[in-house]
Structure formats: structure tokens, C-alpha cells
Structure 1
């Protein structure tokens, strides 16, 4: 991933940065570099704003932030930019006369979408607080100090700007369709993660403040734009507070949400929900059951076409194998796919899935002949045994990282 990080002017403490940062064209040292070893000011804030083609919003956003941020609040603004337009140049021009420091991290590859952009910002933040907001002015800038102030007053680790508590409103959501989708997504996430989202009425909010010390950036695996959900589930803040806000109309440009983001959201939910071994095993079993549908459809089509039922059984089984592989890749092991080439994963998965058939029949014969079991219970036990073995083998042989062996040099004879 290629990145370009610059600062229009130095932060209030120039010792934290390399000398050439005083030049607007110079590179900004990462916020977690050795130059940032000094403890941050109490109540200091890094405001992370992910951007994708938001040039029309930047000037108004920075102007409102300049009016909203009190002089006593040590705040720095970090735009993490995935734009293909002139947004970085617009930020540079608009940031020249501001009372707070502004920096831009431009990513050539938008890994993880909006959530990935926020995580990149988190890795560079060394302040007490991190505030995340959108650039389109649907999140009112005047609430930034209120979010941090609420956290300081209550001792909360996470403060969420919520549309669903008294004083809040989703007025800026255009149309009944978007309102229904937002509400449905909220119910779904709270139903899937009741403990992690306790005290959070608006888990779909993209406007929140979080203490930097409770965020483990390396544990985050964002997918799409619902970064609050990722942070709440994986970091588990001990205490949560909320501040009401009115969701505003977009100031300029068009919404980036759509069907593609919806699918990424569902995949993200599945990845979060299947993070534990037990949850993955349950998901593995449910996907395996769903694989009977394409298996039976393929079997019917092949036998209707005149193929003998035995080779048709073998061929149809591959349809179920392919179905299971696609769902398991997408829903259970998405974050582990990089460990092996896709062809290697397909081959290993197909071998294990078909080996299940070869193992199941001898097991049934063993249970019936050796232990005197009836055929039906023997078959059920064999199915359960091969299922557990196939799940363990799939996780270990297909999706776990390769182990690198180090050779020990033999001592030379003198």
C-alpha cells in the first residue's frame, strides 16, 4: 500500500515531528514514531476524518470545526484519504489559516474501505482521545468537544453520538428506504451482539469518541464503513456513554452507501460473529447443511440428462463442495484467505470434503459391526464425527498460516 502523509503546518509541539514538517510539502512523522514518545496533553484529541472524493465539503467542514473547537482543547485533525479527485489539494489549501494542526494521509489502495481508513488513523494517533466523524457534515462539528467532555465527565471509554435517544434524530436520512435499512441494521447488530453493544443505542453511528488506550489497532479487521461496530465488538470498552445528535443533510456530493456496501456489511457481521472457534464450527455446520440444496439440484439435473446415478452422485457432490467453499471463504475465513493462494485453498478444501465420503462408510461399518449399533444412529454418529474432523482439518490445513521452518546449521568438524 502506498501512502503519502503531509502536514500543512506543525502541531503545537514541534518536537514531536521531524524538522522538515514545518514545510507544508514535507512528510509528517507517524504519530506512533519515536518522536512521539512524550506523553500527550491531558484531554488531547485526534479527530480522524476518512474521505473519499469529498472536495466539496472540506472548506465548510474545516470552517465549522474552527468555530466549534475551543482554544483550550488540544486537537489535531487527520484526514485519511482514499480519493480519486483533488480532495487532498483542497484540504491543503483550506488548512493554511486554521488554529489547529491538520494532516492528510493519502492511501493509494483503499484497504478495508472507510473502516480501514479509520484504523490507519488510529495507528498514528497518540492523544488521549480519538474522535471519528464523516466529512459530509451529516455529523455536526459542534458536537466534537461535547463527545470528549462527556467522556471526561463520566469516565466512559466510548462516547457515541446517537440518533436514537431523546434529543437525537435521523432527519438527514433521505427516504423511507434508507430509514428502514438503517433501523433494520441496528436491530440485527444488537440482536447478534447483545453483550458487546449493551448501552449503545446506535451501533450504526459513524460519529463517536474513544479513549486511545482501549483501542488495540492490530486486533481490528474492518470491512466497509461500520467501524463503530468493529471497535465495540473487538475492543469491548468497559463503560459507554451517549450524546444525542441530529443527523444532518449531506452538504455536498452523493452518499457512498449502496448495495455493495450492504453486502460488505453482512460479510462483516458474519466475520465478527464467527470470531470464536465454537461460533465458526456452528457456522461451518449451517453452511454444510445449506450445501445439500445445490447438491440435490445438480443430482436431479444430471440424472434427468441421462447420467447414471453413481457418477451423478460424485459430480453433484462437487456442486455442494463449491457452494460450501464460497460461503466459508466469504463468511467464516475471509481474514485468513491471504495465507494461501486461492487454487491451493480450493484444492485442499475439495480433497477434505470428498475424503469425508470415504471415511464415513468405514465408520458406519465399524459402529454397526464392531459395536452393534443400529444403522441410523451409527450413520448419525459417523456424520457428527466426520463433521468435527472436517472442520478441524479445514481450519488447520486450509486457513491457518504456513509455519516457516528454520534449519539449524550443522556444526563443522574441526
Structure 2
């Protein structure tokens, strides 16, 4: 382990890419600390880590920074006093929020273990070696610092409102994913250790700050652990501390992102997406009927009012499906392109349903009600499949001059090194 920290200068909004750290020592740790405007906490955090990390634990500290203040410069200034290497990766675009920052850190981690903690000192630094030691002792792939074990506490949560929100989010997550979160009492914890070999960073698609939930739930195990999800878990208690400096990043917007993330995880499988698609379609009757009532009250003839009201339901369904079911597939097409295709399929559904009802009644002799139910089921399945295939599946890349497929667009990353 080198005594000299590597601290590339980080110009705000320019990504600093790190050089490989070499072969990791056995039991080595990459400590990933995502930061957003935490300049006032950096010096104290590194001082406490210096005291807490034992000399025999090979450790590299990696800050993944999305700040708009001088946090990267403060890290660079404080790093020379540390007995372990300190690096900073400043992201030009904070994709995925805090969770995305952690995933970027995991991709660059070189240690046997990856430990994730916040920079605000609400996660006590002295627990870093304890998390790793518990994993080595039990053979666990994932070790979570839990506020809800005996000896743990959520004392650092300011006010009853934040306590209630945190507890409610925990119950909601565990209720939606009882199997995946079995053995994890605090899925909202942002303080944990994971074996680098047990997680596939490319499989993770975080949204917001609950990266542990993404890590534990994203891939449900079948006969064996799927890529991206640790198989064995353990926990250690910890007392959630008061924030050292600065302001909490927990906002209403982050809460909404958390709910959207829960929905995306819950509807990750095709069957779950189909069920969600049906539930969203049923909910579309409300704006449809409301729009029909308003239009007819305004004096519009009921036939054109029916057509216009149907579009209100289409817009409602599109908004919910975009946000809940296909959130991670929206970059493949422009939103107007997706909306146009979705509306075309939604309106074509009615045109297909009527001939099907006639076919089932005239050709197969079904009564009208069973024929209508069968036609609704058939068009629903076809509409779901068409929506996935025609609206949300990625476009095929164009073929190059020699038949090779090439991307439609190419992005270049700017790098800055000292």
C-alpha cells in the first residue's frame, strides 16, 4: 500500500477518471463515499477514518462527487494527511443520483470488499472495519449496518416526521419484497459492505439514494444467485449519528424518486409488468369518464366527446406507464415519438376489438358478454406486447459500411488529470 495518496485535481463538472490501483491485497477495501456539496464534512470525515481504520487493513478511499461547490478541492487539500490513498471522481452528469454515484464507484473498485457510506458522518467511520470483519467471519457477501437491531438506533433522524417517513419506507419495501429482503432489517440503510466479486455493477439501475435496495432486490434468485445480487447477508447494529455539518439531501423529490424506484423494481419481470399494465389501464377509466362528463356538459356531442375523452385516458395511462413500468427504457426514443406510438396502439385497440367480438359471436357462436371478455383479454395481451416491442424496446443499431452494426450516436468523455 502506497503512503502517497493519488488525488487527481477535479474541475467541477469534468469527470476525473482514475488509473487502475493494481492487484488488490487479500481482504483489501475500497471505501466509496458519494458526495454532493459536503465540503464542510470532508476534513473531519478523513480525520475520523484515519483514526478508525487499522494499519493492517489495506484501504483506498474513493469519493464519487456530484457537487456544485468546492468539495473536490477540499478533498484534494485534506488527502495528503491521510495514511491511505484518496481519490476523487467528479461526474459531469449525476446520472442515477447518489445510487448512480455508488455504481460508478463499484465499477472502479479494486478491493476485495466495497464499503459504502455517507460523507455527513451520520455513518460512524469506526464501523468500517467491523462490517468487513463480520463478512469475513460469517462468509456473507453483503453486510448491512442496521439501525433496527438490538444496540442500533435511528437517533440521528431529526424530528418525528423523518422517523415516520423512514419507518414507513422500510415497511413498504419489506412488504413489497419479503423474499429478497429477508434477513435485512434496515433496507433503507446507506451504510454497508459488499464483496466486489458478488455484485455486477453493470446490472444495477439505481434511481436516487437507496442503492442498498437496488442491490438486494434487482435480481431475484432462481436456483442460484443471479448476477448483480449478493446471495448471503449479515448485519451489524449501528447508531445513526447527527449530521456533522450541512443540510440533509432528503427532499420530497427524493421521496418521489424512491417510490418510482420501488415501482420499477416491483415491475421488473415481464409478468409483473403485464399485471401493472392492466392495473394502469383500469385506472384510465377515471380520467376518461371525467373528461367525457366535462365535454358533454360543455355542449359537445357525445360521439366526438367519446373520442376526445379516450385521449385523456391515453395520456393518463402513458404518464403512469412511463413513470412506473418502463422508466429505464425511455432513452431509446424521444418522448413525442413514444407518446405517438402509444396513442396509436391505444386507439387501434378499439378498432381491433370490435371485429374480434363479431368473429367470436358469428363464427364461434359465443354469447356477446363472453365474446367481449375474450376480445378484451386478447387485445390487452396484444397491446402489452406491442407496447414493449414498438414503444420501449431499443432501436437496432445501424449497420456500418461492411455490415457491422454501429451505434446511432457516439459520446466522448472529457478527462482531466493533474
In structure 2, what is the equivalent of residue 74 of structure 1? 58
Q: Which runs of 5+ in 1 are unaligned?
A: 1-10, 15-20
Distance 2:211 2:300 in 1: 51
Contact 2:260 2:324 in 1 (8 A): yes
Q: Which runs of 5+ in 2 are unaligned?
A: 219-227, 404-418
Q: Is residue 252 of structure 1 aligned with residue 249 of structure 2?
A: no
Deviation, 1:98, is 0.8
Matched residue SS, 1:120: helix
The count of corresponding residues between Structure 1 and Structure 2 is 390
For residue 12 of structure 1, report the CA deviation from its aligned partner: 2.2
Is 1:206 the counterpart of 2:183 in the alignment?
Answer: no
The 1:270/1:22 distance shift into structure 2, 3 A limit, reads: closer
- Alignment partner of 2:80: what SS? coil
| CA positional deviation for 1:30 | 3.5
CA distance in 2 between partners of 1:372 and 1:219 (Å): 50
Deviation, 1:403, is 1.4
Q: Is the 8 A contact 1:196 1:236 kept in 2?
A: no
Change (3 A) 1:22 1:199: closer
Instruction: Kindly provide the CA deviation profile for residues 283-339 of structure 1, in whole angstroms up to 9, marking residues without a partner as x.
Output: 100000000000000000001111111111100000000000011011111111011
Superposition deviation, residue 215 in structure 1: 1.1
- Using the alignment, how far apart are the partners of 2:166 and 2:361 within structure 1? 54
User: 2:398 matched to 1:398?
Assistant: no
Distance 1:316 1:149, change over 3 A: same
| Alpha-carbon distance in structure 1 between the residues aligned to 2:81 and 2:291 | 67
In structure 2, the CA distance between the partners of 1:204 and 1:407, relative to structure 1 (3 Å rule), is closer
Q: Deviations over 1:323-365 (max 9, x none)?
A: 0001101111111101111111111000000000100101111
User: Does structure 2 conserve the Cα–Cα contact (< 8 Å) formed by 1:163 and 1:246?
Assistant: yes
For the pair 1:108 / 2:98, whether they are aligned, the reply is: no
Which contiguous aligned blocks of 4+ residues in structure 1 show a shift greater than 2 angstroms?
11-14, 21-31, 404-410
Distance 1:22 1:182 in 2: 37
Change (3 A) 1:405 1:58: closer
Q: Say if 2:302 is the partner of 1:318.
A: no
Q: Does 1:263 align with 2:256?
A: yes
Kindly provide the CA deviation profile for residues 92-120 of structure 1, in whole angstroms up to 9, marking residues without a partner as x.
11111111110011112111110011011
Residue of structure 2 aligned with 1:329, choices 301, 306, 322: 322
Matched, 1:367 2:367: no
Structure 1 CA distance for aligned equivalents of residues 274 and 129 of structure 2:
44
RMSD, aligned α-carbons:
1.8
CA distance in 2, matches of 1:368, 1:105: 65
Provide Cα deviations, 1:351-387, integer angstroms capped at 9, x if missing partner. Answer: 0000001001011111111111111111111111000
- CA pair 405-88 structure 1, distance change in 2 beyond 3 A: closer
Three-state SS of the structure 1 residue aligned to 2:81 is coil
